[in-house]
Structure formats: C-alpha cells, structure tokens
Amino acid sequence: MTQSMDYVETPKKYVSDNALVIGGGVAGMQAALDIANQGYKVYLVEKTPSIGGRMAAIDKTFPTLDCSACILTPKLSEVARHPNIELLTYSEVEKATGHEGNFTIKIRRKARYVHEDKCSGCGECAQVCPVEVPAEFEEKIGFRKAIYLPFPQATPAVYTIDMDTCINCKRCAKTCTRGAIDYEMKDKVVQLNVGAIVVATGYKLFDVSVYPRLGYGRYQNVINAMEYERLINAAGPTHGHLIRISDGKTPKDIGFIQCVGARDVNKGVPYCSRVCCMYGVKNAVMAREHDPEAKVTIYYADIRAFGKGFEEFYEMAKTRFGVNFVKGRVGEVVEDSETKDLIIEVEDINTAQLEEVRHDLLVICPGLQPPDGLETIAKVLKLEQSEDGYLDIEDTFSAPVTTTIPGVFTCGCADGPKDIPDSVTAGSAAAMRATIILSKAGAK
C-alpha cells in the first residue's frame, strides 16, 4: 500500500539525502552510524536528555554476561564525534509531511535551560543544587538534582534543568563559570528536510502493579527487573549491592517471577515478549554471582531459549551457577508484615506439589510494551500500528524493517520485542533500506 503522507499522488522526487533517526537507543544509534558512515547526514532525535536508551541502565547482557555500558559507551562516543551525525537530544518530532525522498519534519527542541554549546559537563551546578528528587534513570530508587545529567556518560554531556522541580534559587547559574545556564530559554522548533526516516523508539516494561495478587507497588520487597538492574549495577544507587528495599539487608533467598505482563489474555498482552525468559535467567545468574550463598529460584511456565548460545546459557545457569528452576506460574504473593518477607503460592508441576515458599526479595520480570509516545509518533508519521500497539510492518518476510509508509523504517523494539543483537541487526537493516532511498537523491 503506497501512500504518501499528504495523500497526494506526487511523482517521487528524491530531493533530500539526509536521514532522520527517531530514538537514540542502541538500534537508533546503529542505524545512524551505518547511514552516516556511508557519507550521508543523519539527524538523530532523542526525547530524553541523552542518547543511550535502555542499555545505559542495564547491568549485564545475555547470553555473554558482557557489561552493557561497556559495549554501549564506545558507540555513544562514536555517535557524538561523527561529523555526519547531528544530535538533537531532549527533542521530539512534532510534525511530518511529504513522501519518501522528500520529508519535511518539524522538531521541537525542548528548553534545557542550559546552552549545549557552552556547557562542559563539569557538574559544579549540580553540586550546589539544593533540590533532590527520585531519578528516572535509577528507577526512582536513587536520586538526582533538579539540574542533572541522567547518567555519568550522558551524551551530549550537557546538563538539563527539570523546571517542574527547580525552585529557581539560581545557585547553579551563579556557580557556572561558563554562563551556560539560561532560565529564559524557550522551546525551539526547527524544520528539517530528510529523504528517509528510521523509527527506533524502543520499549517500556509492562506495569505490573495491575496484578494486585503479586503485590508490586504494595510490598516493598517486590521489585521489577529494571529496578533490579539498577540495584546490581556498580554505577547504581547502591553501588552494586543488591539489597532489600524495606531494610537494606542483603537478600538470601531470591525469587524471580516470569511471564508477568506477557502471554496473558486477561491483561491484553497475549503475545510472548521474547526476551524475558533470557533476561530472567541472566538476572538469576547475576544474583548467584553477587552472592554464591544466596538461594535463587526462577518460577516459569516455559524457558524460551531460542537464540544462539541461549540454551547453553540456560544449562549453565542450572549447573554452574546453581539457579533453582521451578516450573509453575506464581499464583499469589503475601507479605509477612513483620519481616517484610514475601510468601508465594506456586504449584511445582514436576512434583505436583503445591508450595508456599518464603523469599526475602522477589523480582518480577515483566514483558515488554510499546513505549509511551509511540502512539503519537505513529499519528505524526501516519504509521499503522498493529493490535498490540507496536508499529505494523509492510511484510514479515520481504520487508521486515519497512513500515506501512514508504521511506519510513523501523528497528529495535518499535515493531516488537527484541534483544540487543536483533535490535542492532535491525538497525543496520533499516539503515540500508534508508540509504537506498538517500542514494537516489543525487540522480533526479
């Protein structure tokens, strides 16, 4: 179905050889680098103050147990240094018209109240800022100031003021030796002309507080996988010490609950989220790594270890790392009001025993969801979404990174859950598709 955005059958004129990549996570960065390395200019738009996406927050990746930030940060530098990539962080796509080869895009550059060309990222401003609020990057377990960098390797290394929490004391401006802070800054709308667009908007985790029976949001020692990543991360709020939220003690008996917010017809997510089995196993392995004395159990319906090295990783989790695998979905979680321990009810179907098991920390591994704002992007670009909210693609077999609008491509989790290698692969594929169009711009 070839339809241009303004629904007028204009002859395809390949006018621009610039590309727009929406989303600065690993897939978007890969796409941007691959396009830029062929000599084309790329505008990389990211709605948060820094590129990096989820990988910046994750501790280790599966199945290799590589340090996520260590793989990511070289890419952050490469993107930042690349002469052909223009980073538009803290920005959002507001309007789009045109067609493949000639899109006109309006981008809103949100006011950071800090000049990008003046800030050196020295951090003196944050040191004097009196306001401390829960940090989104730390999953609200750690804190940041009202003027902040989301994480130390934030790219660009430019501070941002969160005006909702800023009290206007102006200490930061007084401290800054470069005059980078400007409270009068306004949002700026810029217009770009591009030939191809790559959507790489990532994902969010399913909000498991909609399962009252599991106690997330009510019981302090029930956390989700992303909160767990921050707790075990050496750069995280507890410097990598896994602790119970209720009392700061080291947990000795940890349970991981799989298939929550995925494969559930009652909660509108009948699909399998692809990565949770593996990231759950990875998390359990990490728990044993952190504390070989801790008892670690995973409660699952199936272990979907479909990729290269995945089955071996699963075996290793059982044998080398001693993770306990229980086949049975958890029915209910109850809190011991004194110790804040959790008691779960589960049937181990291999033994047909109904068990009440006490854990001192429970980690729920939620399924992936389309991110907030994908609906808006889809509307702006007139992209079709499938029933599950992800971007619809042109054809599963012959055009798996092409959306329903010619000239607009998708990679990473924008069209469905994926792990890091698959996201990066899709990023390169989308880059290729995009540059086919961009290469026509010279030939008119």
Partner 1 sequence: MDMLLYRGCTAPVRLPAYEAATIAVLEKLGVNLIEFKDTNCCGAQYVESLSRNAFAAMSGRILALAEKEGLDILAICGACSGSLKINKYHLDNDPTLRDEVNSLLADEGLKYTGKVRVRHLLQVLHEDIGIDAVERAVVRPYDGIRMAAHYGCHVTRPYEIVQVDDPENPTILDRLVEAVGGVAVDYAGKTRCCGGPMLAMDEGIASAIGRQKIQNIAEARADGLVTACVFCDIQLTQVQFGEGAIDKRIPVITIPQFLGPALGIDEDVLGLELNKITPSDIMASLQEGRQ
Partner 2 sequence: MTNEIHTPSSEFAREVASVPGGEAINKCIQCGICTASCMVARASEKYRPRKIIQKILIGKRDEVLRSDQPWFCMTCRMCEENCQEGVSPAEIFHAVRFIAAREGHIPNVFRNTLDTVLTDGWLLKDAYSDFIEDERDDLGLEVDLRFNDGFVKRVRERYFSPDMREAEV
- Tell me if residue 113 falls in helix, strand or coil: coil
Query: Which range binds partner 1 by CB under 8 A, 29-37, 42-50, 330-338, 364-372?
Result: 330-338
Q: How far is the CB of 206 from partner 1 (least distance, A)?
A: 16
Regarding 213 and contact with partner 1 (CB under 8 A), the answer is yes
Q: Which of 39, 152, 268, 331 binds partner 2 (CB under 8 A)?
A: 331
Regarding 366 and contact with partner 2 (CB under 8 A), the answer is no
Regarding 191 and contact with partner 1 (CB under 8 A), the answer is no
Contact present, 202 and 416 (Cβ < 8 Å): no
Output 95 or 213, the one with its CB closest to partner 2.
Answer: 213
Q: Which of 272, 301, 334, 432 binds partner 1 (CB under 8 A)?
A: 334
Q: Which of 211, 256, 314, 409 binds partner 1 (CB under 8 A)?
A: 211
Q: Is 149 left (phi over 0), alpha (psi -120 to 50) or beta?
A: beta
- Here the contacts of 134-137 (C-beta below 8 Å, separation 24 or greater) are 135/237, 137/56, 137/57
With CB under 5 to 8 Å by kind, the binding choice for 335 among partner 1, partner 2, none is partner 1
Contact letters for partner 2, residues 224-263 (x by CB under 8 A):
-----------------------------------x---x
Place of tokens 């981008």: 107
Output 210 or 432, the one with its CB closest to partner 1.
Answer: 210
Query: Which range binds partner 1 by CB under 8 A, 90-98, 195-203, 206-214, 322-330?
Result: 206-214
Residues 90, 51: Cα–Cα separation, whole Å? 9
Query: Which range binds partner 2 by CB under 8 A, 145-153, 230-238, 321-329, 335-343?
Result: 321-329
Give ∠ CA 222-227-229 in degrees, rounded to 5.
Answer: 125
Residues 186, 170: Cα–Cα separation, whole Å? 17
Instruction: Give the strand order in the sheet containing 188-194.
Output: 91-99, 102-109, 188-194
Regarding 124 and contact with partner 1 (CB under 8 A), the answer is no
Query: Which range binds partner 2 by CB under 8 A, 112-120, 151-159, 243-251, 348-356?
Result: 348-356
Query: Site residues for partner 2, window 196-225 (CB under 8 A)?
Result: 213
Regarding 351 and contact with partner 2 (CB under 8 A), the answer is no
Residues 21, 129: Cα–Cα separation, whole Å? 34
Query: Site residues for partner 1, window 7-66 (CB under 8 A)?
Result: none
Query: Which range binds partner 1 by CB under 8 A, 168-176, 209-217, 354-362, 418-426?
Result: 209-217
Residues 417, 272: Cα–Cα separation, whole Å? 9
With CB under 5 to 8 Å by kind, the binding choice for 101 among partner 2, partner 1, none is none
Residue 289's identity, in one-letter code, is E
In terms of Cα–Cα distance, which of 142, 145, 141, 123 is closest to 132? 145
Place of tokens 């996570």: 25
Query: Which range binds partner 2 by CB under 8 A, 61-69, 122-130, 264-272, 369-377?
Result: 264-272
Residue 12's identity, in one-letter code, is K
Regarding 298 and contact with partner 2 (CB under 8 A), the answer is no
Residues 416, 202: Cα–Cα separation, whole Å? 9
Regarding 387 and contact with partner 2 (CB under 8 A), the answer is no
Residue 44's identity, in one-letter code, is L
Size of the site for partner 1 (CB under 8 A): 7
In terms of Cα–Cα distance, which of 221, 230, 123 is closest to 181? 123
Task: Kindly tell me the sign of the dihedral angle through the C-alpha atoms of 138, 198, 270, 272.
Answer: negative
Neighbours of 147 (CB within 10 A): 27
Which residues bind to partner 1, rule: CB under 8 A? 211-213, 332, 334-335, 337
Which residues bind to partner 2, rule: CB under 8 A? 213, 259, 263-266, 301-302, 327-332, 345-349, 352, 354
